[in-house]
Amino acid sequence: MNTRIAVIGAGTAGSGAARRAAELGAKVILIERDAPASGSSGRSAAIYNVQTVDPLHIELRMRARELFFRLERDHGLPLNRIGNVRVGWSDADMERLETVNRTQRELGLGPGDAIILSRQDLQNLVPDLNTSDLAGGLFGPRDGTVNGEVMCQALVNEAIELGAEYKKANVLGHQLRSDGTHLIHTSDGDVVADIVINAAGAWAGIVGELLGHPVPVLPQVHDIVKVSLATPLRYTVPMVNLYMPGSDDEALYFRQFDETTLLAGFHTYRVLEGHPIADPENYRGEVEPSYLAAVEEAINRRFLVPGMTVQAGWTGLYPCTADEEFIIGPEPADNSIITCTGLGGVGVTSGAMAGYTAAEWAVQGRPTTISGATRWLPGRESLKGTIK
Ligand SMILES: Cc1cc2nc3c(=O)[nH]c(=O)nc-3n(C[C@H](O)[C@H](O)[C@H](O)COP(=O)(O)OP(=O)(O)OC[C@H]3O[C@@H](n4cnc5c(N)ncnc54)[C@H](O)[C@@H]3O)c2cc1C
């Protein structure tokens, strides 16, 4: 009999997990209480890119991007290749980005796919950017935006074509049966599974409690601001990301949204100190006025276009972790429970492949697409003591 796998949550992680597990021959049921991407995956800034610094994350994002390109080709997934630039602030940052660029090439990225920019190149790319205190950047012209809802739905559709079942139901409880199988109680009846994948994003802590395996995910509210331009620009503003992984502070990002609007906010991998860990069932839905004011100040300093005005966009949850890393793999005390969460502020660009990794743990007993993903196993020392 094929392994019965229940995937909980149809965000990027769960949709990817269901698709990959079905492809690997499992009997899959994907349980989502609302619609695909109704959690964080539908509330993001929608950026996908391969311009990050850690080799394992570069590899994961490259595979995810290949998947997006295939979904675009096969199913018309709309991608908007506005480009993505990770900005370097100093000579040391630029040395780091040069190293990243060498790694990208070693991993198979073409020379036109990730380009080192001098400060002048950066100025030419984004003519209104204040580059006076910047050193340059790393630019991906084929990076851009993907609609979270459409992407998750495309993965769900492929999972269904491969034999998976989609069940709209709320997971309410769980029993481990004497034969080691799982009985999952939902708002629409019980589901029996050999393996459960907890891909409930910021809600993975709650679902983990139900499954008897608490998950140290730390949900934090992040806000998005809309910046109105007085008149359209002569060029498309790529994603400009001023955050350098490892830095202590949040940093500004912004990108074109429509002809006369930019999206902007602050990004970090860190669990923000002084920021509450949110209750995902009842988190702040309004953009804070102080955040709006801070973005207004930052964007006016960084993007020298007169007459910009800011308005609240929306809020959503980053499913963060104490060590700023994903959690993907079997729970140490029961390898028939696979956790897949902790995607923080990068789960749109990474989530589908995080899900693939979880599915491979479930069906094949190890990650095969991204073999280095064993680094993200649950129960690691750096997560201990961080259950909220
Ligand atoms: C403001 C903001 C901007 C962002 N911008 C970007 C960006 O530009 N690029 C990027 O890569 N990432 C971005 N992110 C991060 C990204 O959105 C998340 O990392 C990602 O969506 C997490 O995906 P997930 O599948 O783990 O969780 P989710 O998408 O939250 O999916 C979890 C699913 O589980 C379901 N669920 C929960 N409990 C239950 C239950 N009991 N029963 C059944 N179903 C349940 C939920 O309904 C939900 O659909 C941003 C996030 C925010 C908040």
CA of 316 to the centre of ligand 1 (A): 8
Mutational pocket test of ligand 1: of 60, 203, 288, the residue with most ligand atoms within 8 Å of the beta carbon: 203
CA of 21 to the centre of ligand 1 (A): 20
CA of 37 to the centre of ligand 1 (A): 7
Return d(Cα 173, Cα 184) in angstroms, integer: 6
Partners of residue 47 on adjacent β-strands: 145
Token pair listed for 180: 């080691």
Residues with CB under 6 A from ligand 1: 8-14, 31-34, 38-41, 43-47, 170-171, 199-203, 207, 222, 224, 316-319, 341, 343-349, 351
Q: What is the pLDDT of residues 190-224, one digit of tens each?
A: 999 999 999 999 999 999 999 999 999 999 999 99
**What pLDDT was estimated at residue 218?**
96
Q: Average model confidence (pLDDT) for the chain?
A: 96
- Of all protein residues, the one whose alpha carbon is nearest to atom 35 of ligand 1 is 9
Return d(Cα 122, Cα 109) in angstroms, integer: 21
**What pLDDT was estimated at residue 53?**
95
**Mean pLDDT lowest among 219-233, 317-331, 372-386:** 372-386
**What pLDDT was estimated at residue 11?**
98
DSSP codes of every residue in 259-291: TTEEEEEEE-SSPPTTSPPP-TTS---SPPHHH
Domains of the chain: 4-42+148-215+323-383 (3.50.50.60), 81-147+219-320 (3.30.9.10)
Identify whether the C-beta of residue 57 lies closer than 8 Å to the C-beta of residue 245: no
Return d(Cα 216, Cα 276) in angstroms, integer: 15
- Of all protein residues, the one whose alpha carbon is nearest to atom 37 of ligand 1 is 200
Mutational pocket test of ligand 1: of 7, 20, 30, 40, the residue with most ligand atoms within 8 Å of the beta carbon: 40
Token pair listed for 355: 């899900």
pLDDT value at 385 more than 80: no
Residue appearing with tokens 């897949």? 340
**Mean pLDDT lowest among 1-15, 241-255, 290-304:** 241-255
CA of 184 to the centre of ligand 1 (A): 22
Ligand 1 atom closest to Cα of 34? 47
Summarize the confidence of residues 122-149 as an average pLDDT. 98
CA of 201 to the centre of ligand 1 (A): 5
- 276 band by pLDDT with thresholds 50, 70 and 90: confident
**What pLDDT was estimated at residue 206?**
98
- Of all protein residues, the one whose alpha carbon is nearest to atom 53 of ligand 1 is 316
SS3 383: helix
Ligand 1 atom closest to Cα of 315? 1
pLDDT value at 262 more than 90: yes
DSSP codes of every residue in 243-254: --TT-SS-EEEE
Amino acid letter, residue 379 = G
Q: What is the pLDDT of residues 342-366, one digit of tens each?
A: 999 999 999 999 999 999 999 999 9
- Of all protein residues, the one whose alpha carbon is nearest to atom 3 of ligand 1 is 44
Cα end-to-end span (Å), the chain: 38
CA of 224 to the centre of ligand 1 (A): 15
CA of 328 to the centre of ligand 1 (A): 15
**What pLDDT was estimated at residue 369?**
98
- Of all protein residues, the one whose alpha carbon is nearest to atom 12 of ligand 1 is 346
- Of all protein residues, the one whose alpha carbon is nearest to atom 47 of ligand 1 is 39
Mutational pocket test of ligand 1: of 348, 350, 357, the residue with most ligand atoms within 8 Å of the beta carbon: 348
SS3 227: strand
Ligand 1 atom closest to Cα of 355? 25
Quick one: CA dihedral 163, 20, 365, 321, positive or negative?
negative
Return d(Cα 242, Cα 134) in angstroms, integer: 9
pLDDT value at 55 more than 70: yes
CA of 19 to the centre of ligand 1 (A): 17
